[in-house]
Amino acid sequence: MVTRSNLLCILVLMVIVGLESVSASVYNENMESLVKARRSLLNNGLGNTPPMGWNSWNYFYCDVTEKVIRESADALVTTGLDKLGYKYVNIDDCWAEQTRDKKGYLVANRTTFPSGIRALADYVHSKGLKLGIYSDAGEYTCSHRMPGSLGNEEKDAKTFAEWHIDYLKYDNCYNTGLKPMERYPIMTRALMKAGRPIFFSLCEWGDMHPALWGSRVGNSWRTTDDITRNWDSMVSRADQNEVYAEYARPGGWNDPDMLEIGNGGMTYDENVVHFSIWAISKAPLLIGCDVRNMTKETFEIISNKEVIAVNQDRLGIQAKKVRMEGSAEVWAGPLSGYRVAIVLVNRSILPANITAHWDDIGLPPNTEVIARDLWKHRTLKKRLVGSLTEVVYPHACRMYVLKPVF
C-alpha cells in the first residue's frame, strides 16, 4: 500500500530533481495505487471526491416539504450549480410520520410529502441530481418528530434503497447510551446489503473522534457540533476539523458541517473565508441556504469554479494550518500536478501582512512558481521564489494555487 507519506515524498522529490529521477508514469502508478487503497476501506465506491449539493436543515429546519425539495432541485439546475458539481439534494430531519406503519416501516409525512419519497426521488433523478435523506442512530431523530433507526437498521436501509435514495445523513440523538462505534457499523452493514450504493454520512458531531474510525464505517464523518451562521462558529468548526486533516482521503472525508453562506450573520469577506477553508479542507460542500432565492453575492461565492476545483482535486489531501502568527494564518495543502493550494486568513479586526513561506508549504525554498489568485481570477505577472506576501483585510482571506516552474 502506498501511504500518504510515500506520496508526499514522491511529490517533493520530483520538484527537487526536476522530474529527472522520478518519471511521470511512476507518479501516476503510485497515485492510482494510493487512491485504490483508500477507496477499499468502505466498499461502496462513493465519495472519491467530497460530496457537493444542498441540504434543507440550515435554512428550513423542520419546515421542509416536498414542494421545497422539488423547487430546490429545480434551482440547482436553473442556476447551473448542478453543472459545477452540486448534485445531492438532501432532505434533513422531519420528513416522516411520527410512528412507523403496522409492519414497522418508516412512512413519509402524508401532509408535507404527499407523493411519497420514491416519487420525489424519481423527480430529482429526472433532473440529473441525486436524493439524500436523514435518519438517526438512536430511538428518535434529533427533532423527536420521527422514529430513529436503532434496532431497525436493515429494514430502513432496505426502504431507502427501494426509494432510490443516494445519500444518508445519520444523526446521533436519543442513542440510549450505546457508543457510536457500536451503532453506526450496524447501519453500514445494512446499507451494504440493501442492494444500492448509498453515500453514508456519519453525523456523530465529533463526539467520539469519528475521524479515527469513520473511514471503515462511512464516507464522511462530522468532526464538530452544529455550525451556526456567525464568524466565531464558522472558524471554530474549521479549527476543530483541521486537527484531523491526516484522516481525510478519497472515499472518506472530515465534515465540519454544512455551509452557512447566504443565511446572513456573516459579511461577504467572512463568507469567502468560509468557502475557501471548506474547499481547501476537502470538506463536503453542502449549500445550506434557500437556493431558490439567492443573492448575487451568495451565488458568486458558491459558484467559484477555481475554488471548487481545489476541493474536488483528485489527490484528496486535506490542507493544514502550517503557520500561525497571532491572528494571521497560512493554510496549505498539495494538489495534483505538483501544485500547492494556500489560503492566507486574517482573523484580526485590523489589516495584516501575511506571508506564505515555501518551506512551510512543502516547496524547496528556491522553487520558482506561477501564482494564481482564485478570487480575483488572475495569474500574478511576476513569478515568485521563496515566499508570497499579501495584505489581507480583517476577517478576510486570499487564496492561491502555486504551480512550480520546472
Name the residues annotated as catalytic.
Answer: 171, 226
Alpha-carbon Rg of the chain, whole angstroms?
22
* CA 146 from centre of chain: 26
Helix (H) or strand (E) holding 31: helix 24-39
Residue 399 contacts residue 350 (beta carbons within 8 Å): no
φ/ψ of 169, rounded to 5, equals: -90, 125
For residue 22, count other CB atoms closer than 10 A to its CB: 18
| Sequence-distant contacts of 159-163: CB under 8 A, at least 24 apart | 159/105, 159/106, 160/133, 160/191, 160/194, 160/196, 160/198, 161/191, 161/194, 161/195, 161/196, 161/198, 162/118, 163/117, 163/118, 163/121, 163/133
Pairing of strands 396-404, 368-373: antiparallel
| CB contact at 8 A, 271 and 301 | yes
- Grid cell, residue 390, equals 499579501
Residue type at 24 in one-letter notation: A
For the residues of 282-351, what is the DSSP string, one character each?
A: T--EEE-S-GGG--HHHHHHHT-HHHHHHHT-TT----EEEEEETTEEEEEEE-STT-EEEEEEE-SSS-
Which grid coordinates are listed for 249?
A: 482521503
